[in-house]
Amino acid sequence: MTIVLTTLFILLIILVIAIRYRLKNAKSSSQLFTAILLLLALIISVYLLGYFKVFQCTPIKDYVVNFKELLQIIILILAVLAFFGASIGFFDKKYTLRIDKFNIGGINVLFDKSSEIYVKTVGTYVSSKRSLFSFNEKRDNIYEVLNAYYDVYNFIRNNLELLDHEKDSDLYKTSVNILKELNKFLTKHQNDYRRWYDKVISDDEFMVSNHEQKAHNTTIEQVQKQYYRYDELLQDIKNLNKYMSEEKIKNMLKINDFIWGEE
């Protein structure tokens, strides 16, 4: 017993010294030091509880057992309520279960309205595609722009099921209109431009004023201008930029004003 008390006394002294050091050096103390401090406090607590035989006391035993049973009942009630609430939301298309990534911490259960998730997800994705709002003739590669437009088309289409075409009618109609505009643009230009561009890059040459030019040895602007429907394609891109920059779309998808002006 003397050894136990002596050990406990030494641990208490160490704990007091450590706490004083932690308080004086709060900013510079590491998380590891804090963890060691908490572990030391836990060890002392175990010593104290064992020494005074706290858990052998009948009232304490009864309290712990009753508290444990009460906690289990509360958890069960909350689980049942959560299940019924989620079920009602899913059947009514009011709430959505979304899994972002299958890794540690990557599975997210989001009990938000489906329309809110749609706006957050689609709005953020659309906002990241600058060429939807502003096309730079000197630096933007039209081939990559077509890829971006196609990706946006698929992304909106795949997430459209989050919306109820009656309850979210305005947002649904606007999204469908965006799909129509993208589809019209891609159908008109995608195949022709890709065939032409792939051929130019494969041959690494094109003709400018009856002179042969190496594609790798000039700017993307000069290469693209040789496309036989370049002016028409450029005008349609600008028209799409203008359409996507309308206030109705920006407000509905909550697209921030910082995107994307002329550079």
pTM value is 0.58
Q: What percent of the chain has pLDDT over 90?
A: 34
Q: How far is CA 120 from the centre of its chain?
A: 9
For residue 138, give the DSSP letter: T
Q: Report whether pLDDT(31) > 80.
A: no
Q: Which of 208, 206, 228, 226 is nearest to 216 (CA)?
A: 206
Structural domain boundaries in the chain = 1-18+36-92, 111-253
CB neighbour list of residue 141: distance below 8 Å, 6 or more residues apart: 220, 224
DSSP 210: T
Give the whole-angstrom CA distance, residue 23 versus residue 261: 51
3-state SS class at 253 = coil
Q: What is the mean pLDDT of residues 139-165?
A: 94
Sign of the torsion formed by the C-alpha atoms of 246, 120, 127 and 129 = negative
pLDDT at 7: 67
Percent of the chain with pLDDT over 70: 76
Question: 231 pLDDT exceeds 90?
Answer: yes
User: Of the segments 50-54, 57-61, 184-188, 201-205, which one has the largest average pLDDT value?
Assistant: 184-188
The residues near 145 (Cβ < 8 Å, ≥ 6 apart) are 131, 135, 237
**DSSP per residue over 72-116, as a string?**
HHHHHHHHHHHHHHHHHHHHTT-B------SSTT------SBHHH
**pLDDT level of residue 102 (50, 70, 90 thresholds):** very low
pLDDT for residue 112: 53
* Average model confidence (pLDDT) across the chain: 80
**Placement of tokens 């989620």 in the chain:** 86
Alpha-carbon distance of 70 to 199, in angstroms, equals 73
